[in-house]
Amino acid sequence: MSTSEQQQSPQHPQEPQRFGDFVAVRRHSDGGHVAELVLDRPKAMNAVSTDMARSIAAACDALGADPAVRVTVVTSSSPRAFCVGADLKERNSFTDAELVRQRPVARGAYTGVLDLPMPTIAAVHGFALGGGFELALACDLIVADATAVVGLPEVSVGVIPGGGGTQLLPRRVGAARAAELVFTARRVEAAEAASLGLVDQLVDAGQDRDEALALAARIAGNSPVGLRAAKRAMRLGHGLDLRAGLEVEDAAWRSVAFSGDRAEGVAAFNEKRKPHWPGE
């Protein structure tokens, strides 16, 4: 990440924690409540190699275990791309046996982002294709700038989306729309992506990171216990029938109803002050 990018961030990030050569984590705001997971392989437009996949998974493990982190923002240090997907140059050198061995490593990167327990936001600019778009789809919200180009082109090279795309895209835009996008392998530019619901917020060119961090800061002002429980309820309840979904919600409600955050939230409301969340 460039010095100019660091200076432009209003969130006053701490020094980054490195996970291998291609991934960094920065913690923003008071107490590090907003974390930024930086895809940092700019020369390859963040093509996900085996080493990078391991680093993404390791960074997600660390973030998931950190109770101070209330929101994670996935960003890119490449000026041209969020992520162009799998490193096909590396894949071209694999034997079939090596590809089989690499598969769990690749999956670990995508499930690492998907399984983060706190709300997650992708800040997308430039190309977000194949596995790159799947990393964004694994997040709860996607903020994209006007340069964004998204898509799942895997069938055009003889494979299928393997980072969750066949499951996450229908959940976002519906089965028929997802089928058209996957089967045609077409790339979708920013304005159409916003109109189709492929991204949630469209911002001016160069503003995706700042807007995503600002959104994260607003979310992080809420109860960390409540945020994680709400995400858990929505994720686990999705696709269930209504009655089963309400049971999932009730279990999540019970997990927060007697928490310190609930007590503090009610007290702060009645005392007309800002809550100081204990996070438990």
Looking at per-residue pLDDT, the higher value among 102 and 5 belongs to 102
Q: Which two tokens stand for residue 272?
A: 């007309």
Q: What is the pLDDT of residue 9?
A: 43
Instruction: Please state, rounded to an integer, the average pLDDT across all residues of the chain.
Output: 94
Confidence class for position 31, pLDDT limits 50, 70, 90: confident
Asked whether the predicted pLDDT for residue 1 surpasses 90, the reply is no
H/E stretch holding 202 reads strand 201-203
Alpha-carbon span 131 to 129, nearest angstrom: 6
pLDDT digits (tens, 9 = 90+) for 230-269: 999 999 999 999 999 999 999 999 999 999 999 999 999 9
For residue 2, the one-letter residue type is S
Looking at residue 90, what is its pLDDT? Answer: 94
Residues 6-29: tens digit of each pLDDT: 333 444 557 899 999 999 999 996
pLDDT, tens only, 42-83: 999 999 999 999 999 999 999 999 999 999 999 999 999 999
Q: What is the pTM of this model?
A: 0.92
State yes or no: pLDDT of 189 exceeds 60.
yes
pLDDT at position 13 is 57
Look at residue 4 and tell me whether its pLDDT is greater than 80.
no
Could you tell me whether strands 23-28 and 17-19 are parallel, antiparallel, or unpaired per DSSP bridges? antiparallel
- Which residues are known to be catalytic? 86, 131, 134, 154
Instruction: Give the C-alpha separation, 103 to 120, whole Å.
Output: 24
